[in-house]
Amino acid sequence: MAIVLLIAVASGLLLLTRLGPVSATAAQGYWWLRLPINRRRALVGPASLKMLKTGAGVGIVFVPIAALSNPADGLASVMLGSAMAALLGVGLFLFAGLAQVVGCTGLMTRVASAVVMVGMAVLLLPLLTAGRLDSDILGGVPTQVLLSLPSGWPLAVLQGSMWPLWFSITAIVAGFLALYLSLDRLPTSELTARGGISGHAAGAFYFGDFRELGFALKDRRASRKFGISKGRPTSAFAVLVRADLVAFMRTPGKALHLLLWAVTPAAVACISGVGSALVMAAVLLACGLAASSTSAAVARVHAERPVLDGMLPLTPSQTRRAHTVVPLLCLTLWGLLAFGLLSLMGPSSFELPVFGVVAGAGLAGATIRGAFQPSPDWTTMGGSSNNKLMPAGVETSFVRGPDFIILAMLPALLALFIPDPSGWLLASQAALSTFCLWRGTRAD
């Protein structure tokens, strides 16, 4: 459990450094920050509000985890542990804010990414060797060492330790004063840039547009370390497949995100009292949706710019099949790893990895179907809505893709409830995956 919290804290730091703890909108940067005003007093209010919201959100999320982690003194320990988690969220916010002031957000991003990768590797070791996390040793790393890290302090408070609470309060007061005194060092360009990213992400989340949310949180730094130099492609289809593969591997964080969504179900199953079949089915479905969205990043770019595909001597259906290759590889590997780890952890049958691989093929078709969906007609109101207030086709744009994802994963999720899945369930999984793959690659 401690290693899971370490991964969560590192992921939270990645999110905070991307959004920017301290930010300003473009209007505020143009009208307010150009005036001879006290920047500290202008920025400390909104930053403090976001800091309190971050701490409250982390504390609320930790309440059910604390209740299932065998607290030492019952409800009192649960409340203290949740308070410690809230303080941890506030401290993480202040740490990201100080990194923003110093100008080392890039370094913090690399360190947090490395922590996530190492944490997932440590999490995988006992799953592959012992079948389940041991209570005393976690992949050779003593649990006490993990509990001594700030990410493990909520668990330490649950077991009766009080020193993390007092230390955190002292550190938060000192960190808040340091951040307040250095707010005037933030340039207007940094504030408005982070404000644009956070505003974009908030608007996308409010309207439920997770495609746009992923674009807002996307790291626009391009990596040039990946390339394919073995021979030249012999057809336009191979050219498009190779271009998609290179673009996907050069996009920062995509491979790491896929690995994270593959390990998350096993990490949730490690939490005591949570590993029921119903909960694991919900977690697998959520991770499947996230992995599908991650694997379709390049396909969505091509769908938004169809003129690039139109220059190749390929039909629309052939173009979609070419764009399906990368999601097919990614999602079959995701299914193998996600379902395979669950099969290693418990008495489940060896058919689960097979279900995961076959379901991954169906997820690839559903992903392409969602990536190449037609955009809603924002100029025509009331086309498909009962109250005549929504643009025509907007409801279809929200469910197109996720509907086939649910359909493609349905037999694999049912296999979690059956100790010995029969052949007809595997046959139905193959049939549904074939249908989703065929329908998703078929041009409208």
pLDDT band at 136, cuts 50/70/90? very low
Between 177 and 243, name the one with better pLDDT: 177
Selected residue with higher pLDDT from 126 and 296: 296
pLDDT of residue 134: 45
| pLDDT tier for residue 260 given thresholds of 50, 70 and 90 | confident
- pLDDT-based confidence at 138, cuts 50/70/90? very low
Residue 251's pLDDT band, with cuts at 50, 70 and 90, is confident
Query: Which has more pLDDT, 412 or 253?
Result: 412
Note whether 270 and 132 are within 8 A (CB). Answer: yes
Mean per-residue pLDDT, 298-326? 83
pLDDT at residue 329, as a whole number: 92
More confident residue, 215 or 338: 338
Average pLDDT of the residues in 318-326: 88
Q: Higher model confidence: residue 377 or residue 185? A: 185
By percentage, how much of the chain surpasses pLDDT 70?
Answer: 80
Higher pLDDT, 137 or 14: 14
pLDDT at residue 430, as a whole number = 92
pLDDT at position 137 over 50 = no
Question: How far is C-alpha 11 from the geometric centre of its chain's CA atoms?
Answer: 9
User: What is the rounded distance in angstroms from the CA atom of residue 153 to the CA atom of residue 149?
Assistant: 7
Dist CA 309 CA 328 (whole Å): 19
Return the pLDDT at 151. Answer: 82
Pairing between strand 391-392 and 377-381?
antiparallel
Whole-number pLDDT of residue 139: 43
Percent of the chain's residues with pLDDT above 90: 13
What residues contact residue 75 under an 8 Å CB cut-off, 6+ apart?
Answer: none
What's residue 258's pLDDT?
86
In this prediction, residue 432 carries a pLDDT of 92
pLDDT digits over 159-171, tens only? 888 888 899 999 9
Q: If pLDDT is split at 50, 70 and 90, which confidence band does 331 have?
A: very high
Query: In terms of pLDDT, which residue wins out, 329 or 161?
Result: 329
Q: Residue 391: what pLDDT? A: 60
Q: Where are the domains of the chain?
A: 2-216, 236-440
* Higher per-residue pLDDT: 289 or 305: 289
| Cβ atoms 116, 14 nearer than 8 A | yes
- Has residue 114 got a pLDDT over 50? yes
Q: Across all residues in the chain, what is the average pLDDT?
A: 79
Residue-wise pLDDT for 417-439, tens only, equals 887 777 888 899 999 999 988 98
Segment 178-201, tens digit of pLDDT: 988 888 888 888 888 888 888 888
C-alpha span between 126 and 243 (Å, rounded): 37
pLDDT confidence of residue 372 = 82
Region of poorest pLDDT, from 52-56, 283-287, 290-294, 342-346: 342-346
pLDDT at 377: 61
> Rounded mean pLDDT of 252-274?
75
Residue 189: how many other CB atoms lie within 10 Å = 9
Highest mean pLDDT out of 145-154, 292-301, 308-317 = 292-301
Q: Is the pLDDT of residue 392 over 70?
A: no
- What gap in Å lies between CA 106 and CA 252, rounded to an integer? 13
Say how far apart CA 284 and CA 263 lie, in whole Å: 10
Of 30-44, 104-118, 218-232, the poorest mean pLDDT is in: 218-232
pLDDT value, residue 86:
92
Average pLDDT value for residue range 105-109: 82
pLDDT at residue number 133? 43
Residues 6+ apart with CB under 8 A from 39: 33, 183, 184, 186
**Residue 307 or residue 355, greater confidence:** 355
Per-residue pLDDT reduced to its tens digit, 17-40: 888 888 887 777 777 777 777 778
Give residue 320's pLDDT band: very low, low, confident or very high (50, 70, 90): confident
